[in-house]
Each structure stands twice: as structure tokens, then as C-alpha cells.
Structure 1
Amino acid sequence: MAFDEAGLPAIDRFWARTQRGPQPDDCWTWTGPPTGGYGRLIVNGNRENAHRFAYTHFTGHRIPDGYHVDHLCRNQMCVNPRHLEPVTPKTNTNRGQSPSSVAARTGRCVSGKHALVGDNLRVRANGKRECRACCNDARKTYREANRDKIRAQKRASYLRNAESVKASARAYYWAKKDGD
């Protein structure tokens, strides 16, 4: 049995910070302070996510290494083991409600305006999928908003390069003249 510094078993501390709904299928809401959006408690001297503790304690199943515990109810503060399922990180992400998860499921870009197929789909070296049309729109908006800044940068680059070209030409001229 896991105890904390005060000598209370982890399961007692778990129930002290959990509010159960009247029905067995209702969410069990973690009322303790959240850390990173999830409940935490100390088990055997280690911090553990409350939903992971609930899953292993109440189901008796071990969570495979590298797996996440997905909240089927989409409530991060829920610790009801009936609402929890160990899944791969990819499955957990794809089930999520983030714009990139929705885009991956629907085949549309994050904005929802364009299909992510053919020439409109750009895959970066890190595997991130992007909508080419949205990237072009963002680039155009940035350039319009920062026109003067971009012109100043181009002018400074041009002047640096022009000086470099002049210096190279002078060096070539003097090397040629000295060689004659």
C-alpha cells in the first residue's frame, strides 16, 4: 500500500480529492490542484498523474511502456477508470480535439478551408503536414504587414553584397596590374 509523508494511503488521498457523480458512468472529477491540466498525487514518493493511478488501481492492469491513458470522455480532470483507455501516443493525438487532430481526421487543413491532398499538401522534414495554400496566405499577409522592414533588410543585404563585389573587383584589378 502506498503511503505519503502523513501516513495516509494513496487511495485515501485519491478519494479525498475526487468527486464522484451519482451514476457509475458519470465522470469522477479530480478536485485537487491540477498540474499541466491533469490531477497529480504522490504515490510511493513519486508524483503520478491521478488518472493513471486510477486506471492501474481500479482495473488491475499495467499501462504498457510508452502508452498514454486517453480520456474517452474528453475531460482531462476525470479519473473514472471506465472513461480511461491506454493507447499509443499517435492514437491519443488523433482522438484529440486540437486543430491538427481534427485536420488529420477530416483531411482538411487547420483552417478548414482547403483539402490536404495533392499539390496542396506539404510535408516537412519533421513529418508535420501543412496546407500549402494557408502557408502562402500567411506569407503574403506577413509581407504586406512588414513591407518596410523587408525592404530595409533587402537594401542592407544589397549594400553589403555590393561592397563585397567592389572589394573583389579592386583586389582582382590590383593583382592583375601587379602581375603585368
Structure 2
Amino acid sequence: MWDRYARSLNHTPRPQARFHTQWPWIGGLTGSAFSDFMMTSESTPFVPFANEREFNDWRVSRFRPFGDRHAPTAARIADIRKSMHEDHPIVYTHDDINRRNILVRVHGDGPDDVEITALLDWEQARWRPIYWESRKWHFEDWHTPVWGDFGLKVIGQGYETVVELDRKPQKTSGHVPY
């Protein structure tokens, strides 16, 4: 429902030599560099990743400076990385669905009288693991638990445990990487 148009895009091989015929990659629409405000506070784009393993390795490595200062934190983060899956479908995702980016039309007073009319702000749209949309939803709306939980149940249906595991490095270190 939320993403039927974006998820209907076909992921084709990236022509650059780095990947040869490996796909689906994680990155921009055409295999370009990308940035993500949840993964780092830097605005410098990072290169696309050849697969989910490479993506997870890089993201978890961003927490290493926190673990370097505290061995138990480093051990917890290493255990979290070992638990992460590397076989999710890679789909095109909006990557910033939250309350401020959804336009709705209300036809009446009932729960079925609300219609989503548009999704705004496609700046961060990229190829990502299928659970990523719900992970970002939860990241953006952590301060409103009811809304964050709604997004996890509606968008991330079936990926709740993956999202929770993905949140653990940040919860363990207490920071978004620089």
C-alpha cells in the first residue's frame, strides 16, 4: 500500500566496474553514491554497497569509536553484527516516510475515511533492504511512540525483530555515528 509504486521498480545491474554483474546493490537509483541522515551526521555521500553484508559491516563499523573506549560496548556491538541477516530483498524505498511527509485527505469521521494522497520529500529515496523503510520511520518518530509503533506495524509488518536488532548498535553506544 505505502510503497507499491516504488517497490515495483526493477533493480537492474549497475554498469560501473565495481560491481560487474553483482546486484542488487544498496545505493542510489542508478548505483550512485548516497547519504542517509540516520547512518551518519556527515553530509558526505558514501559509495554504494555491493550487498547487504557490506552495508551492515560498514554501518556497524561506524560505532567502533564508541567501543574502542569501552570493551564491553565493543563486544556487544560485535555480537549484534553477528546476529544481523544479510539476505533481505533489496527494494526501492522512499526512506523518509514520517508524519511531515504524508499528505492525507479526510472524508469523514471514521478510520476508513482517511486517504493518503501523496508522499513528499523523496530526497533520500534509494535501494535498501526491505525493512529499511520501517527502520527509518521508527528513527524519525521515536519521540512519538504511538506513531512510531504504528509505522513499524503497518510499514514494517513482519520485520519488527529486524528493526529492533538494527536499533541495538545505536542504543548500545548511545550515539548516531559521526
- Asked if Structure 1 and Structure 2 have the same fold, meaning a TM-score greater than 0.5 normalized by the shorter chain, the answer is no
The bucket for the TM-score relative to the shorter chain is under 0.3
What is the TM-score of this pair, normalised by structure 1?
0.24
- Please give the TM-score of this superposition, normalised by the length of structure 2: 0.24
Query: Which one scores higher on RCO, CA 8 angstroms, separation ≥ 6?
Result: 2
